[in-house]
Amino acid sequence: MSTGSARDRIVLALDLDSDRDALAIVDQLKDSVGLFKVGHQLFTAYGPDIVRRIIDKGGKVFLDLKYHDIPNTVAKASAEAVKLGVSIFNVHALGGFDMMKAAAQSAGETAAKLGRPVPVALAVTVLTSMDEQSLRRELKITRSLQREVNHLARMAQRAGMHGVVASPQEIRMLRRSVRGEFVVLTPGVRPSWAAKDDQKRIMTPAEAIASGADYIVVGRPVLKAEDRKAAVEKIVQEMTKTS
Ligand code: C5P
């Protein structure tokens, strides 16, 4: 799947506690990155208005709220995400086939009704905070983590989802197990020059793209940089050198 230039593939995670800071960053970087990720923190503090304000400024939004509820509720939430004008949204694959199908269908229908582009609907497979032991002990899922991730990704595709959120280690495996055009969006990337923070199994943005990722999510390496624009440009350079 081709998603355009290197910078179009960069999703900047707005993991911040201030709407003013978030909007200032959007002003500064809207022409430098592809999308801005609005997650639970910013959304819980400032609501859908923060999404509207980012879009009004010309930024594209990945709404990272990982819906997980009964199909009817998730369908309605997905319709609202389309009305808000987000470019990407996501759900938990563990919500099941019918839930994912309802989300994808509702997003498609709402977009058609409004004459808007259909947003990319992604499924989160297994959270990377879970390991094989927690899968087995807590969720009583006995197959390997890899097989579970593959299974959920294939189910997501059958349900009409457009792609998955996946850790760098899962990209190659997923590319082999899903068919055709399927978006892979990957957090857990770190440029070679950046601190790892709490990320453990990381790849550089360039490695993630070479492995088959369509989008990479970057937060702290840019947010904490003294010169954020320069940090993004360094990432773009790294990505284009190897692509
Ligand atoms: O600051 P950093 O680059 O680590 O931010 C990465 C973003 O991606 C955060 O918003 C984090 O919640 C998200 N994420 C992640 N690892 C996952 C899934 C999501 O880091 N496995």
pLDDT band of residue 53 (cuts 50, 70, 90) is: very high
pLDDT in tens, 176-214: 999 899 999 999 999 989 988 888 778 999 999 999 999
pLDDT at residue 228, rounded to an integer: 98
In b/e form, how buried is each residue of 72-108, taking b as 16+ CB within 10 angstroms? eebbbbbbebbebbbbbbbbbbbbbeebbbbbbbbbb
pLDDT at residue 116, rounded to an integer: 95
pLDDT at residue 1, rounded to an integer: 47
pLDDT at residue 27, rounded to an integer: 98
Q: What is the mean pLDDT of the chain?
A: 95
Pocket test for ligand 1, best of 15, 17, 38, 42 (most atoms within 8 A of CB): 15
pLDDT at residue 128, rounded to an integer: 85
Closest Cα to atom 11 of ligand 1? 187
Domains of the chain (ranges plus CATH)?
Answer: 7-240 (3.20.20.70)
CA 117 to the chain's CA centroid: 18
Q: Which residues are catalytic?
A: 66
pLDDT in tens, 140-182: 999 999 999 999 999 999 999 999 999 999 999 999 999 899 9
pLDDT at residue 130, rounded to an integer: 86
Distance 203 CA to ligand 1 centre (A): 13
Distance 219 CA to ligand 1 centre (A): 7
pLDDT in tens, 70-120: 999 999 999 999 999 999 999 999 999 999 999 999 999 999 999 999 999
**To 5 degrees, how large is the angle CA 41–CA 30–CA 36?**
30
